Structure formats: C-alpha cells, structure tokens
Amino acid sequence: MRQILVVPITFALIFGLLGTARAQETITLAEAVRMALERSPAAVSARGDTRVAEAGVLEARGAWLPSLNANSTYANSSNERFDQSTGQLVSESYTAQLQTSYEVFTGGRKLAQWQGASASLRAAEARERGQRFATILETTQVFYEAAAAEELLVAARQRLERATRQQEFAETRRLVGTATRSDALRAELEKADAELAVLDAESQLRTARLALGRQVGRSGAARPAAGALPEEPPAIPAVEVLVARAEDNAPEAVAARAELDRARSEKREAWSQFVPSLRLTGSYDWFSFRWPPDEESWSLRLIASLPLYNGFVREATVARAEADRRTAEAEARDAVLAARAAVEDAAGQIDTAARRVQIASRALELAREDLRVIEERYQLGAATILDLQTSQVALADAEVGWVRARQDLGVAVAALEAQLGEPLAGIGT
C-alpha cells in the first residue's frame, strides 16, 4: 500500500515544484507587454470594436450594389383546381422567383453613410491604438513596481545586516566599558525597525509579483528580470516636435476628428431625406402545377418616392444631426488642446525624473560615504550611537530614493508614449 501511494505523491511533488518554477520565471518588460496586449480585456475589447467598425464599412459599401433574392414555393391543398394546359384537376403548385432591386438615386444618402462608416472605422482604429498604449503604460507601471519591490527588499535586507553589525559592535563596546547600555538598546531598536522594514518589503514584493502575474494573464506570480529599472532616459525630440506630432497623431485627437467627420456625414444623410429617391426593381417568375415550373413571366419597375409630410421627423433629424456636429466640433478642438497639454506635461515629467535620478544617485554616494566615516568615528569613540543611526537611516532613505527615482523615470517615458500613441523611437528629432 505504501508503494502504491509513493508514486502519485512523488509525481504531485514534482509537478508542484515545476508549477512553482514556472510561476517564478523571470520575464522582461517586452515579454510582459506582449502578453498583456494579447490577454488584456480592454485591449481585446478595443480590437473587437475595430472589427465591428470594419463590418460597418463593408455594409456601407454593400449599399452601392443591387440586392438579389431567390424565392421558391411549393403548395398543396385539398381543393383541386383545373389546369387548362393539361385539362386535369390538380392540387399541387410550384413557383420560383428571382428578384433584384437597386437604389438608383438617394440624394447622397449612400455616399454619406459610407463616409460616416469610414470615419467610425478611423475613430475605432485610433481608440484601439490608444488602448494599446494605455495597456503598455499600465503594464509598465505594474512591471516597474515589481522591479522596484525587488530592489527595495534587497535594500531592506542590507539595512538589517548593517543594523545587526551595529548591535553586535555596540554590545561589544558595552561589555568592554566604552559604551553605555543606552547604545546597546538603541542598536537593538534599529535592528527591530530594520526587521519590520524587511517584512514590509517582502509583503510589497509578494503583492507586486501577483499583480504583475495578473497583468500578463498568469494564474500565479510573475517575477521581473533583474536590472529592469532604467537609469537614463531615451533620446527625446524637442517639445515643439512632440507637440506637433501629438496634434496630428495622438489617439484621442485622431478619434475626435474622425467623430467630427462622422457627425458631418450624418448631417448630410439627414438632409438627403428632403430629396426624392429612385428605386429600380425587377423580377423573373416561374409557375406551374407540376415540377419543374414551365410558365415564365418578368416585371420591371422604376419607383420614385418623396415623403411630403411625416410629422416633422426629417426636421427633427436634421436638428439633432446639427447639434451632434457642433458637439463633435467642440470635442475635436478640445482633444487637440488636451493632447498638446498632456504631451508637454509628460515631456516635462521625463526631464524632472531624469534630474531626480541624477540627484538620487549622488545622494546615495554621499550617504554611503557618510556612513563609512561615521562608523569609523564611532569605533574610535568620536561619534555617538545617535550619529551612527542617523547616518544609517539616511542611507536607507537614499537607497529607497534611488529605486523610486528610476521607477518614476521608466513610467514617465511610457506615459509620454501613451499620450503620443507611438514609441519615441519612431519620432524624428
């Protein structure tokens, strides 16, 4: 019985370890973005909206083609009829019909519908592009948060190591009589604070990894590749170039202009109701009391139609279309201004973040050197335990500042690309 149980338990352990290993596989930012774009509900929904808009364009194009229908009927009745061609009483009949119809003139309605559908497709494509870069920005934020949590845990553990050495040294000095009990207590308190910092960092790392796993569509945690946080910004074009590019290419601006074109097309479509329409219809019919039908006939009609009065429905439709056009015009103008402001602000955020990285790097160097000097002075009895702890806390803060500054820089670059709707590498300087 034991041998029977050993095999499944062993396999369960092996597969469990393999599953844990897969869950902890490191991924790069590019891999995280690719997986998020494939599995993000918002990105999938945006792609679906584009497919629907493409179907709308196909439908509008189909309105330029004639319709074609084929009908066939078989009838049987208890009441017999006299068939003159055969001189017999029959109860069955067969009919077949091929019918076509084409709108010869619609007052520009079909053209307006096609232009409106094309504008809706451009708006959907722009929104899909905007959602794509919004997903990239969100993924970048989650990825860099996990990467920062990795480094913050390392920094917290280093702080704990320093606090442990400090406690041991303070206790040694107390035993030899060169330090007071207060020094040992303060060192023990700093170690406790460092242990709490490690616990907090571990909790934040676990949360960040799980959030990254969900973002990329994994059932468990995902671990970012080491050294993911940037230290320098990429080459950024001049603000004037970025603003001009945003006015022409920002997803929200493009979508708003496309919506304005759609509203104008709907207004032209509304006015087409005041113009007569012409429709050409034709059919070819077969009829007989036996199969196959052998009696043939055809018809051709040209129908002109103009509603003289329909309860002011046309006037109300035109008024609504004009109101929608004015609203779309205002929204398009505001979207361009918003794109300009957002790009200028995002470019400024990158410059600020880059400067913060430089300052944080220098502060980290200074804090490390200050701690080295204070430790030597404390060993010589020229500095107090309070001086040493102050220096250690300053170094811990500098390490956190260094991590957060690089994290902010990476997110700022992604935010600018999200506003532009394209990577910075594709924009000329």
Residue 155: Cβ within 10 Å count: 21
Residues 127-132 have a mean pLDDT of 96
Evaluate if residue 188 carries a pLDDT over 90: no
Evaluate if residue 12 carries a pLDDT over 60: no
Residues 6+ apart with CB under 8 A from 189: none
Evaluate if residue 147 carries a pLDDT over 60: yes
Residues 132-157 have a mean pLDDT of 96
Beta bridge partner(s), residue 27: 224
Evaluate if residue 28 carries a pLDDT over 60: yes
Residues 6+ apart with CB under 8 A from 208: 142, 145, 146, 148, 149
Q: Where exactly are the structural domains of the chain?
A: 25-71+104-279+311-426
CA dist list (Å): 342 to 219, 250, 257, 335, 402: 35, 10, 18, 10, 26
Residues 6+ apart with CB under 8 A from 271: 107, 108, 318
* % the chain with pLDDT above 90: 66
Flag the least confident range among 110-119, 247-256, 309-318: 309-318
Beta-carbon-side half-sphere exposure of residue 158 (alpha carbons within 13 Å): 15
Band (88; pLDDT cuts 50, 70, 90): low
Beta-carbon-side half-sphere exposure of residue 140 (alpha carbons within 13 Å): 21
pLDDT for the residue 83: 61
Q: Residue 252 is encoded by which pair of tokens?
A: 């929200």
d(CA 23, CA 20): 5
Band (175; pLDDT cuts 50, 70, 90): confident
Flag the least confident range among 82-91, 300-309, 330-339, 396-405: 82-91
pLDDT for the residue 389: 87
Greatest CA separation found in the chain? Answer: 136
Evaluate if residue 290 carries a pLDDT over 80: no
Evaluate if residue 7 carries a pLDDT over 50: no
Pairing of β 223-224 and β 26-27? parallel
Residues 290-303 have a mean pLDDT of 81
Q: Residue 283 is encoded by which pair of tokens?
A: 């059919």
Predicted confidence (pLDDT) per residue in 383-394, tens digit? 888 888 899 999
Band (82; pLDDT cuts 50, 70, 90): low
Residues 137-148 have a mean pLDDT of 96
8 Å CB contact between 417 and 136: yes
DSSP-assigned letter for residue 289: S
Higher local confidence (pLDDT), 361 or 91: 361
Evaluate if residue 344 carries a pLDDT over 50: yes
Predicted TM-score of the model (pTM):
0.83
pLDDT for the residue 14: 39
Band (17; pLDDT cuts 50, 70, 90): very low
8 Å CB contact between 321 and 260: no
pLDDT for the residue 227: 86
pLDDT for the residue 4: 44
pLDDT for the residue 123: 96
- The whole-chain average pLDDT of the chain stands at 88
Flag the least confident range among 175-179, 210-214, 303-307: 175-179
DSSP strand E in 85-206: where? 88-105
pLDDT for the residue 211: 95
Highest mean pLDDT among 94-103, 166-175, 186-195, 338-347: 338-347
25-71+104-279+311-426 CATH fold: Outer membrane efflux proteins (OEP) (1.20.1600)
Residues 111-138 have a mean pLDDT of 96
**Residues shown for the chain:** 429
pLDDT for the residue 16: 46
pLDDT for the residue 46: 95
Q: Dihedrals φ, ψ of 12, to 5°?
A: -65, -40
Flag the least confident range among 151-160, 162-171, 342-351, 412-421: 162-171
d(CA 62, CA 158): 69
* % the chain with pLDDT above 70: 89
Beta-carbon-side half-sphere exposure of residue 193 (alpha carbons within 13 Å): 14
Flag the least confident range among 185-189, 192-196, 264-268: 185-189
Evaluate if residue 380 carries a pLDDT over 90: no
Evaluate if residue 398 carries a pLDDT over 70: yes
pLDDT for the residue 13: 41
Per-residue b or e along 300-321, where b marks 16 or more CB atoms closer than 10 Å to that residue's CB: eeeeeeeeeeeeeebeebbeeb
Band (84; pLDDT cuts 50, 70, 90): low
d(CA 256, CA 119): 10
pLDDT for the residue 174: 79
